[in-house]
Amino acid sequence: MKIGSVRVGHPVALASMEEHTNYCFRRLMKQFGASLVRSERVDAVDAARRDRRALRLLHTAPDETPRAGQISGADPAVMAEAARVIEQLGFDIVDLNFECPIRRLLGRGEGGALMADPPTIGRIVAATVRGVSIPVTIKIRTGPDAEHETAIDVARAAQEAGAAAVELHARSVAQAYAGGPDWTAVARLKQAVSIPVIGSGGIREASDAARFLHQTGADAVAIGRGCLGNPWIFRQARAIVAGGAAIRPPTVAERARALLQLVEGEFHFYGRPLAVRRLPRTSCYFAKFLPSFAEFRGKVRHVGTLQQFRLLVREHFC
Ligand SMILES: Cc1cc2nc3c(=O)[nH]c(=O)nc-3n(C[C@H](O)[C@H](O)[C@H](O)COP(=O)(O)O)c2cc1C
C-alpha cells in the first residue's frame, strides 16, 4: 500500500491510542511487526504553539518509519500550522483526528463532533494539504451515531480536498469504545473512495486481522486494544495474512523481555516520576496472564525505581 509517496510494507498497522502509543510503545510494536504506526492524538493548538508536553507526545525517530503524527482541531489555519510542526518533527504522514468521542473535544466542536459536518472536514483537509508536503490522512468513525452514517460523505470530501488515505474506526462516535464494531461500514467505504482505506475495531486476536481484511476488502487493518500487552499479535497476524503457518505464542521469558524493554524506554524517555506513575497501566497488560497477577498488580503500585521493577518482574515472570 502507498499513502501518497509513503510506502507501507504490509497491511497490519498499529492504531493510535491516547496514553499508550508513545515513541517507546510504537518502537516495540514495530519491532514485533507493525507496519504503519501512529502517535496518539495531540491538540492542534498545543502542537502549533510547540507546547512542551505536546512535543514530548510527538517525539519520533527514524527507526519507526513509516509513522504518522496525529492532531485534532477544528480551525483550518491552526490545523495547518500544527501539521507543519508534525512535518518538521520528522513524521512521514500527518493524520487528522475526526473520531475522538471525548466530551471535552465534542463540546469544542472537534474530533468526532465533525463527523456531522463533512464540508468543514473538507476545508480542514484542504488547508492542511496546502500547508505541508507530507501526505495528509484522516481518522474517522462510521458517523455521529447509529442512525447517521456519514463516513462516506466525510471520506469523499476529504479525498476531494487531497487526503491520501482514510482510517475508519468501525464504530459511531456515540458508541465510543463499547459495543461491536460494524465491519460492513468499512466494506462500504472501500467501495466508495479511491484512496487507501485502513480499518480498525474489534481486532483481539491475530486471526481477526485476517478475517477483517478478507471481509472488508480494506487495504490495511489497524490493531488497537488487541496489542496492549501483546505486541506478538502483529507478527502472528502478518503470518496468517501472508498465508503462512501460525506462529507460536510468546514464552513467559519473552513476555518479560518485551515488558522490560517498554518500561526501560519509558524511564529513559519520561524520567522516573512519570514512568513510575505510568507503571501499573503499562505493565498490567503484560502481566494479566500470570497466575500471580493479583499479587503483581498489588505490588507494582508500590514500585518506585526501575531496579525495584526489574526485581518484581524477575519474581513473577519465571
Ligand atoms: C484507550 C484508547 C485510546 C485511543 N486513542 C485514540 C487516539 O488518540 N486517536 C485515534 O485516532 N484513535 C484512538 N483510539 C481508537 C483506536 O485508534 C482504534 O480505532 C480503536 O481502538 C479500534 O478498536 P479496538 O480497540 O476495538 O480494536 C483509541 C482507542 C483506545 C482504546
Residues 35 and 9: their CA atoms lie apart, in Å, by: 6
Terminal Cα distance for the chain, rounded: 41
21 lines ligand 1 (CB under 6 A): no
Q: Is residue 26 part of a domain?
A: yes
Residues forming beta bridges with residue 198, ordered by sequence position:
167, 220
The residues annotated as belonging to the active site are 100
Tell me which amino acid residue 220 is.
A
205 lines ligand 1 (CB under 6 A): no
> Which of the 8 DSSP states describes residue 98?
-
Of 12-26, 27-41, 244-258, which gets the smallest average pLDDT?
A: 244-258
Both 168 and 264 in a single domain? no
Give the strand pairing for 197-200 and 67-72: unpaired
Average pLDDT over residues 21-48: 98
- Please, what is the Cα angle at 192 between 191 and 198, to 5 degrees? 70
Distance 225 CA to ligand 1 centre (A): 7
Choosing from 241, 272, 296, the residue where a domain stops is 241
Residues forming beta bridges with residue 13, ordered by sequence position:
222
Both 61 and 190 in a single domain? yes
Sequential DSSP letters for 226-278: GGTT-THHHHHHHHHHTT-PPPPPPPHHHHHHHHHHHHHHHHHHH-HHHHHHH
How far from the centroid of its chain's Cα atoms is residue 134's Cα?
19
Average pLDDT over residues 108-123: 98
Cα-Cα-Cα-Cα dihedral sign, residues 99, 197, 58, 96: negative
**Is 0.85 topped by the overall pTM?**
yes
By the 10 Å C-beta count (0-12 exposed, 13-18 middle, 19+ buried), 5 is classed as exposed
Both 169 and 259 in a single domain? no
Beta strands (DSSP E) in the chain are 2-3, 6-7, 12-14, 37-43, 67-72, 93-97, 136-141, 165-169, 197-200, 220-223
Are the CB atoms for 168 and 140 separated by under 8 Å?
yes
pLDDT range class, residue 23, cuts 50, 70, 90: very high
Both 162 and 306 in a single domain? no
**Count of C-beta atoms within a 10 Å radius of residue 49:** 13
Q: Is residue 247 part of a domain?
A: no
Both 234 and 275 in a single domain? no
Distance 17 CA to ligand 1 centre (A): 5
Give the strand pairing for 93-97 and 197-200: unpaired
225 lines ligand 1 (CB under 6 A): yes
Tell me which amino acid residue 219 is.
D
Both 219 and 286 in a single domain? no
Average pLDDT over residues 268-285: 95
Cell triple for 273:
516520576
Both 259 and 153 in a single domain? no
Residues 193 and 188: their CA atoms lie apart, in Å, by: 9
Both 52 and 191 in a single domain? yes
224 lines ligand 1 (CB under 6 A): yes
Distance 256 CA to ligand 1 centre (A): 25
Both 130 and 272 in a single domain? no
Residues forming beta bridges with residue 139, ordered by sequence position:
97, 167
Q: Is residue 230 part of a domain?
A: yes
Choosing from 186, 212, 241, the residue where a domain stops is 241
Q: Is residue 7 part of a domain?
A: yes
Both 45 and 187 in a single domain? yes
Range of the domain at 310: 252-316
> Which of the 8 DSSP states describes residue 60?
-
CATH number, domain containing residue 234: 3.20.20.70
43 lines ligand 1 (CB under 6 A): no
Q: Is residue 189 part of a domain?
A: yes
Count up the domains in the chain and report the number: 2
The answer on pLDDT for 247 being more than 90 is no
Q: Is residue 139 part of a domain?
A: yes
Both 147 and 263 in a single domain? no
Choosing from 211, 241, 271, the residue where a domain stops is 241
Distance 311 CA to ligand 1 centre (A): 32
Give the strand pairing for 6-7 and 2-3: antiparallel
pLDDT tens digits, 57-104:
999 999 999 999 999 999 999 999 999 999 999 999 999 999 999 999
Both 189 and 279 in a single domain? no
